[in-house]
Amino acid sequence: MADTQAEYRKLPSVDALLRRAEVAALLADFGPEQVADALRALLDESRAAIQKGGDAPDEAALIARLVEYLQQRSQPSLRGVINATGVIIHTNLGRAPLSTAARQAIQSAATGYNNLEYDIDGGERGSRHTHARELLRQLTGAEDALVVNNNAGAVFLVLSALCVGKEVIISRGELVEIGGGFRIPDVLRQSGAKLVEVGTTNRTHPRDFAQAIGEETGALMRVHASNFQQIGFVTKPSLAELVQIAQSVEWPGPPPVIDDLGSGTLLDTAPFGLSPEPTVQQSIAAGADIVTFSGDKLLGAPQAGLIVGKAELIDSIRRHPLTRALRVDKLILAGLEATLQAYRRGKAVEEIPVWQMIAASPESLRARAENWRERLAGAGLSAEVLSGQSTVGGGSLPGETLPTFLLALTPPHPDATAARLRQANPPVVGRIQQERLLFDPRTVLPEQEEALLSALIAAVGQP
């Protein structure tokens, strides 16, 4: 007991530590209260260690720990991560990385003031809904467009504005659940619409929709299965068939056809070796009255929900009170417009990271992986290059993969090494397969390569 008390007495007071020059230098960066609180926490840790039989740290060790402690606490919770998983639109890692033009546009919008709701020509109040509107009209062929905070919000807003108290007819096989427990049936009910299921889980025919239409019908709805596949004995009406059925209704008039594309794309995916994904342009050309899709998936923009379609319906949606609750800010609009400009110039594949990654050839990926292997060999680490598969992710193109080449490491303790990589600055996230750590160059940005290799050398070189 005497030894323990002696160790306790060796601990300096908070005031004594604050008077040290090394600690005083930290006050300007972190503030007196934060430094003092950190010192109290570290002294409490030291007392707990002494109680268990440990020795009291000297002041130099305490100050070194203080610097580390303050730096850790000052890290933002939202941090950049190196995504080496090969999942291009990784929901947990922020989905689509933004293009250089989008990042520059966001920085410009964040600096000073802008014309978010100001008509520069007229010198009077304007509307934030004019931004990106014309670009979306040009790119999709729709009469009008509206931007809200995400696609879930877009679907909810459309149903709330157009279908409250009315029946929405949807195939039973499309009553899907996407990430975060977002279920189409729940959204329909919460919006005030009445769900009418037709067909069966695997087979729905055009006649099922036609027979369900009545005086209370508010809309026919298609939900694209962007995050799962049905195979085997399955069938469902095409969008064009739904439009034809709706337009055949004479009284009380044709109900609108709503097409929720989920991810949504403006580019044909087939030339990239992927299954054809319905484009927004195709949905509009097929006659859909309203089409909803995401901004931060295959489009490659910031998170947003995009609503395009008939001008009369978009106007009704825009005037709904819920639109204000779901509106986006200047930064989202700036990034979205810059992304859409790349599509208008025909430069999406060259400029937007998601499409750069999708378009990357296996040969170029092999070359990058081989370069990584050689760099690690120069540092004394053994690695190999293996063939593998990348995925699109983000609820897009389920089951679809792209051929790639992977850097493979086989450390003694893969889980422990992966944990160290997640503590790197920036954190590195790869995947573990058959006791190997795998890193896919497809999803590692070129400017991240040096940080990745440094992290690998530091983490794998540890016992």
Domain CATH code at residue 324: 3.40.640.10
Of 318, 351, 384, the domain-final residue: 351
pLDDT of residue 82: 98
**Domain check: are 117 and 157 in the same one?**
yes
Q: How far apart, in whole angstroms, are the C-alpha atoms of residue 109 and residue 115?
A: 9
- Residues 222 and 339 occupy one common structural domain: yes
Tokens 């795998």 belong to residue: 438
Q: What total number of domains does the chain contain?
A: 3
Provide the residue-wise pLDDT of the chain in tens; the chain has 463 residues: 447 888 889 999 999 999 988 888 898 889 999 999 999 999 999 999 999 989 999 889 999 999 999 988 888 889 999 999 999 999 999 999 999 999 999 999 999 999 999 999 999 999 999 999 999 999 999 999 999 999 999 999 999 999 999 999 999 988 877 666 668 888 888 899 999 999 998 999 999 999 999 999 999 999 987 666 777 778 999 999 999 999 999 888 899 999 999 999 999 999 999 989 999 999 999 999 999 999 999 999 999 999 999 999 999 999 999 999 999 999 999 999 999 999 999 999 999 999 999 999 999 999 999 999 999 999 999 999 999 999 998 777 777 899 999 999 999 999 999 999 999 999 999 999 999 999 999 999 999 999 999 999 999 876 5
Instruction: State the sign of the Cα–Cα–Cα–Cα dihedral 110, 142, 356, 77.
Output: positive
> Does 183 lie in the same domain as 165?
yes
* Whether the Cβ atoms of residue 220 and residue 254 lie closer than 8 Å to each other: no
Residue 161 sits at φ, ψ, to 5 deg, of -80, -35
Contact 260, 266 (CB under 8 A): no
Q: Which amino acid is at 232?
A: G
Let me know whether 137 and 282 are in one domain. Answer: yes
The answer on 375 and 435 residing in a single domain is yes
Read off the pLDDT of residues 64-94 as tens digits, 9 standing for 90 and up. 999 999 988 888 889 999 999 999 999 999 9
Residues 110 and 86 in one domain: no
Contacts of residue 230, Cβ cutoff 8 Å, sequence gap at least 6: 173, 202
Please give the backbone phi and psi of residue 323, each rounded to the nearest 5 degrees, phi first.
-60, -40
Query: CA dist 277 to 189, 340, 426, Å?
Result: 28, 19, 34
Alpha carbons 296 and 294: distance in angstroms, whole number: 6
Does residue 167 sit in the same domain as residue 254? Answer: yes
Specify the pLDDT at position 1. 46
Same domain, 282 and 323: yes
The reply to whether 54 and 178 lie within a common domain is: no
Q: Phi and psi for 411 in degrees, rounded to 5?
A: -75, 165
Q: Do 399 and 279 sit in the same domain of this protein?
A: no
Burial class (CB in 10 A: 0-12, 13-18, 19+), 227: middle
Please indicate, yes or no, whether residues 40 and 128 belong to a single structural domain of this protein: no
Q: How far is CA 20 from the centre of its chain?
A: 46
Rounded distance between C-alpha atoms, residue 105 and residue 179, angstroms:
29
Residues 379 and 231 in one domain: no
Q: Provide the domain limits for residue 48.
A: 2-74
- Could you tell me the CATH number of the domain that includes residue 417? 3.90.1150.110
Sign of CA dihedral 143, 146, 151, 157: negative
